[in-house]
Amino acid sequence: MIKNSEPTIHDIARVLSISASTVSRALNDNSRISLKTRDKIKALALEMGYRPNSLASNLRNKKSKTIGIVVPLINRYFFSSVISGVEDVAFKSGFTVVISQSSDLAQKEIEIVHSMFANRVDGLIISIAMEPNTSDHLKLLRKKHIPLVFFDRVVPEIETDKIVVDDFDGAFRITQHLIDQGYRRIAHLAGPQNLTSYIDRKNGYLEALKKNEITFDPSLIVSIRLTSEEGTQAVKQLMNLPQPPDAFFCGNDTTALSAMIYLRDQGRRIPEDFGIVGFSNEPFSKVVTPSITTIVQPGFEIGQKAAELLIGRIEEREQSFKTIILPIELIVRESSNRRKN
Amino acid sequence: MIKNSEPTIHDIARVLSISASTVSRALNDNSRISLKTRDKIKALALEMGYRPNSLASNLRNKKSKTIGIVVPLINRYFFSSVISGVEDVAFKSGFTVVISQSSDLAQKEIEIVHSMFANRVDGLIISIAMEPNTSDHLKLLRKKHIPLVFFDRVVPEIETDKIVVDDFDGAFRITQHLIDQGYRRIAHLAGPQNLTSYIDRKNGYLEALKKNEITFDPSLIVSIRLTSEEGTQAVKQLMNLPQPPDAFFCGNDTTALSAMIYLRDQGRRIPEDFGIVGFSNEPFSKVVTPSITTIVQPGFEIGQKAAELLIGRIEEREQSFKTIILPIELIVRESSNRRKN
DNA sequence: AGGAGATGTGCAATCGATTGCATTTTTATT
DNA sequence: AATAAAAATGCAATCGATTGCACATCTCCT
């Protein structure tokens, strides 16, 4: 017969002929227990291989020391970097990280949030799904006073902590850079316009055009889901315009890559004939030929910041809600650098 | 004053003037409760916004419906794909996934495993850290009868479920391919030789040389940690040999890329003068120029399989331990294809 | 009508750790 | 030595859900 059960504080108490309360206090370094007893208890706990059952303690304390993170896709570099940053901070603070992916599906996101709630996460970090959605499930969390931190893709009308990058500025600088390189008909592969970050990027683009007195041609903006298939499709369509563009500001690196491959296969020269820029600095964008100009979004740091904010909120250190706008960095690479400056 | 507390089965019971046991049974569809009562209870539960507290239920049931996954690095494509696969299966089976990264550090891995144990995960999926290590912490799990599934990087002496790819075969085929392409002095950037997968890769390489009656030159094998820095370093060193290699079988795509960049910067032609192959099919290997020949490890499927096995074990459906060896796929790309076949 | 058997509910203990309050023990003071 | 004060420890309830067993109610048959 296998004895599978773990020692509990009661077992320790029994061996030492003391009460479980004393053991509990001793292990938590409560000063009400004499140092001598504390040492004795700790020694025995070690010897018996005692490990506190966090389920029990969490139940009693009405907290789980767990934070949830929900991302659209786990295996996208940006998101996995964020997760990595969250894990880094959480682990150091003694929090467990539970993870789930919405696959950009509204329904799955709702289920995840409900399930995390039922599991009593102490707080939640989320970047919302692309698919349009009500945010009742998130408002529910707010109502239950479960701290919530948005990153990257936020819900504007929910008042809570948010960590975003300066999409407007990034898009503005990208566009300005293309203009500086002498490109004039700049197309924009925009993301779904229900997400603020894509709206901001579009606005940054428009603002840069305006500032440089370039007339805006609506046919140069295509709003897509930013997959490589849709990216290729969009570029094809744009190239068939009576006046095709001479540069592509793509909503992410994936579409920038597909644009590049499509144009290259058509025998077009990049950056001489066409400029291409992406967004997010996926690892591949640096190593493809030509390398892709892009915007760095510091995923790991975003994750760290999000976790710090959330944990601060959980431990009730923070006061009012913050929106942290991290600065972005423009990395000029070959795909748009035709003046070699 | 904010009322933050969630309704419990006792609250429901009180409203209906019945006992909590009945409520519990009704919500769990226990046939001992009449259908009429069940419906009434469920309706009220819904109305009150009742959500079971899984902490309490898990404590009582001595299980957590949670599985842990430990990987060296979350933001590596292969690993994040595995995580994604695990999450996919786990979510469908009603399991929560908690995640942590060892950063390839032995000490952190130990802490993680202990912490997951304290949190009472029902099972653990792990790919062990690169840093050499005892495996006492993992043996502990076995002793406590907590199901354990290794993937990719396994501990041979621990008897449990394992999901690996056929590293030997992959390496053999890679080497054979290089030989078929006419390369003769094939170097190997090997990974740390405390990990079986890297040992297997080396052996597959040796076997292919032997089969083709190519004399093995020990100075052509360099064992490194497979970072891009060490990769560049190793290639440099190999190129300084009296008789430098004409091909590089790199332990992963990262080092293959750094080898390629180094040689390219030296003005060498690839694949004409030097052949390069990697391992793992990172997303960039397809899109760099020249694209890199590599081996596909199906990360998502590995994750799914691992989760299926683990959950099967948790629910005591599986019998004896299995080692699943997934077949690999060789993708020949430009970096090694000089005969254009 | 009486009783067997089926059906429906409730009591109370349990999971393991925590904590307010009560009690015991020790130490200090006069 | 007696008493106050301080220090150490224990009791018992609690967190919320589950479940073995006991009890109550109902159905049906002779």
Of A1-5, A162-166, B112-116, the one with minimum mean pLDDT is A1-5
Q: What pLDDT was estimated at residue A284?
A: 92
Query: What is the per-residue pLDDT for A1?
Result: 28
Place A4 in a pLDDT band, splitting at 50, 70 and 90. Answer: low
Statement: residue A83 has pLDDT above 70: yes
What pLDDT score was predicted for residue A30? 86
Tens of pLDDT along B32-59? Answer: 888 888 888 899 999 888 889 888 999 9
pLDDT score for A341:
58
**Residue with smallest Cα–C1' gap to D17:** B57
Architecture of domain B65-165+299-325: 3-Layer(aba) Sandwich (3.40)
Given a cut of 90, whether residue A227 has pLDDT beyond it is yes
DSSP secondary structure, A142-155, as one string: HHTT--EEEESS--
A234-288 residue pLDDT tens = 999 999 999 999 999 999 999 999 999 999 999 999 999 999 999 999 999 999 9
Does the structure show a pLDDT above 90 at B162? yes
Higher per-residue confidence, A279 vs A132? A279
With beta carbons less than 8 A apart as the criterion, state whether A280 and A78 touch.
yes
Q: Which residue shows structure tokens 């600095």?
A: A281
Q: Quickly count: other Cβ atoms within 10 Å of residue A106's Cβ.
A: 17
Output the average pLDDT for chain A.
92
Would an 8 Å CB–CB cutoff place A80 in contact with chain B?
yes
What CATH number labels A167-297+330-336? Answer: 3.40.50.2300
Contact yes or no for A144 and B6 at CB 8 A: yes
The CATH code for residues A65-165+299-319 is: 3.40.50.2300
CATH 3.40.50.2300 domain residues, chain A: 65-165+299-319, 167-297+330-336
Chain A with chain B: Cβ pairs closer than 8 A: 132
Query: Are A96 and B119 inside 8 Å of each other by CB?
Result: yes
Mean pLDDT score of chain B: 92
Those residues whose C-beta lies under 8 Å from the C-beta of residue A34, and which sit 6 or more positions away, are none
Compare A134 and A2 and report the one with higher pLDDT: A134
Contact B288 A289 (CB under 8 A): yes
Structural class in CATH, domain A9-52: mainly alpha
Q: Is the pLDDT of residue B1 over 70?
A: no
pLDDT score for A3: 41
Ordered strands of the A221-223 beta sheet: A221-223, A186-190, A247-250, A275-277
Give the pLDDT score at A318. Answer: 65
Every domain range in chain A assigned CATH 1.10.260: 9-52
A149 within 8 A of A210, measured Cβ to Cβ: no
Cβ pair A134, A109 in contact under 8 A: no
- Contact call for residues B70 and B109 (beta carbons, < 8 A): yes
Among B residues 143-182, those touching chain A with beta carbons less than 8 Å apart: 144-145
Distance B37 CA to D30 C1' (A): 33
CATH code 3.40.50.2300 region(s) in chain B: 65-165+299-325, 167-297+330-336
Mean pLDDT computed over B194-206: 95
Give pLDDT tens digits for A8-51: 999 999 899 899 999 999 998 888 888 888 899 999 999 998 88
Of the listed ranges A175-189, A318-332, B192-206, B209-223, the least confidently predicted one is: A318-332
| B120 pLDDT higher than 90 | no
